Amino acid sequence: MSRVRCGPLSLLAASLLPIIGAVAVHEAREGALALLVEVLALGWLVRDLRATAVRLLFGMVAALGIAVSTWLYSGHDLAEAAGAACRILYLVLPGALLLGLIRPSELGDHLAQRLRLPARGVVASTAALQRLDALGEDWQTIQRARRARGLGMAGGPVRRVRESAGSAFALLVVSLRRTGSMAVAMDARGFATATDRTWAEAAPWRGSDTALLLIGFALALFPWLLD
């Protein structure tokens, strides 16, 4: 199963299509069944369980917040609160499972070659997504450098807030410098004026992409069939 490859467009579609089905999730029982079907339908594509769990954790926090607020404002109806939580989880689960598989460079190739989007916008978006991926590494580098200078976050909450603000400002400066360097490099290579552009990789549409797209449509319809 791990050898099956799906392109970024089918992965993105399968992440977004279940949003249509999430609207139809109202009860906890049908929501739990829909979530089970969603895991079975998309879980075979997961490669990094730890990263997937981290992404899913944010969705679970959102679902818990919705469940608590629904329980408080719906007359303490536990079933309705559980249904609201299942609706949020059905919406965010595909993204948690699939978005980690999308590479920015590959997404750019497919957006330009498959969807025929403007090349300049595609290249700019791809570069931004690649820089977004590197923010975590930059943050860790800044933290190590500040600890080496005796500016670590050890101490009380006030010091932690102050040091976090300093690290955030350093990250902003580093990001702006690298963004400027990237803009100059792209302009020197003719990205602003080129009219006929080549792309790094081909953008094939495989049978696995078609299968995943059909799965996405099925997940969009499944909760409606349970009503």
Say what the pLDDT of residue 40 is: 94
Q: 119-148 and 104-113 helices cross at what angle (nearest 10)?
A: 170
The answer to whether 160 touches 153, Cβ cutoff 8 Å, is yes
Give 193: exposed, middle or buried? Use CB within 10 Å, 0-12, 13-18, 19+: exposed
Query: Which residues of the chain fall below pLDDT 70?
Result: 1-4, 151-156, 191-196
Domain boundaries, given as residue ranges, for the chain = 8-104+205-226, 117-188
pTM for this structure?
A: 0.79
Q: What is the pLDDT of residue 2?
A: 42
pLDDT value of position 154: 64
What pLDDT is attached to residue 69? 93
Interval 142-187: pLDDT, tens: 888 877 777 666 666 777 777 788 788 888 888 888 777 877 777 7
